[in-house]
């Protein structure tokens, strides 16, 4: 007689609870789609920092007229980055919450957090499966 094997692919094994304001979120599922978007987000952040550094390096030896042009470039660059960053954060939050059975309300998030808190939520959720943090914790405890 053939033995039946059960393989549990449920991601609830590594669940994390994240509290924010008056709510508590139990996050179990982080999909590949979320990780891809987070990767794109990190790439955009890096590109922004690279462009910012380029403008700052050139500003050190710039004339007054060039400095005014750099200020315009910096303003545009920063505004575009802020809009892009907010869009990524909202998109990732929405996916994480919906994939874990929660309704997403942008209004609630705007009333109860800021972008830094939202980003921390996303990072905590995505890193829930990171074994290096639990391994490090166990080593420290021993």
Q: Tens digits of per-residue pLDDT, 54-112?
A: 887 777 787 888 888 888 888 999 999 999 999 999 999 999 999 999 999 999 999 99
Residue 101 pLDDT = 95
Residue 137 pLDDT = 47
DSSP conformation class of 78: H
CB atoms within 10 A of CB 29: 17
DSSP per-residue letters across 33-57: HHHHHHHHHHHHHHHHHHHHHHHHH
pTM reported for the whole predicted model? 0.78
The gap from C-alpha 137 to its chain's centroid, in whole angstroms, comes to 23
Distance CA 78, CA 72 (A): 10
Q: And the tokens for 16?
A: 């994390």
Q: By three-state DSSP, how is residue 24 classified?
A: strand
């Amino acid at each position: 007689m053939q033995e039946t094997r059960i393989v549990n692919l449920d991601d609830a094994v590594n669940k994390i609870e994240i509290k924010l304001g008056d709510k508590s979120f139990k996050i179990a599922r982080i999909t590949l789609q979320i990780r891809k978007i987070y990767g794109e987000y990190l790439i955009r952040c890096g590109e922004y920092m690279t462009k910012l550094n380029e403008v700052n390096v050139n500003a050190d030896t710039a004339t007054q007229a060039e400095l005014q042009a750099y200020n315009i470039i910096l303003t545009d660059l920063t505004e575009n980055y802020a809009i892009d960053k907010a869009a990524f954060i909202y998109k990732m939050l929405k996916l994480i919450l919906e994939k874990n059975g929660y309704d997403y309300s942008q209004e609630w998030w705007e009333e109860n957090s800021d972008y830094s808190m939202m980003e921390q939520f996303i990072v905590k959720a995505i890193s829930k499966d990171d074994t290096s943090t639990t391994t490090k914790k166990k080593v420290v405890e021993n």
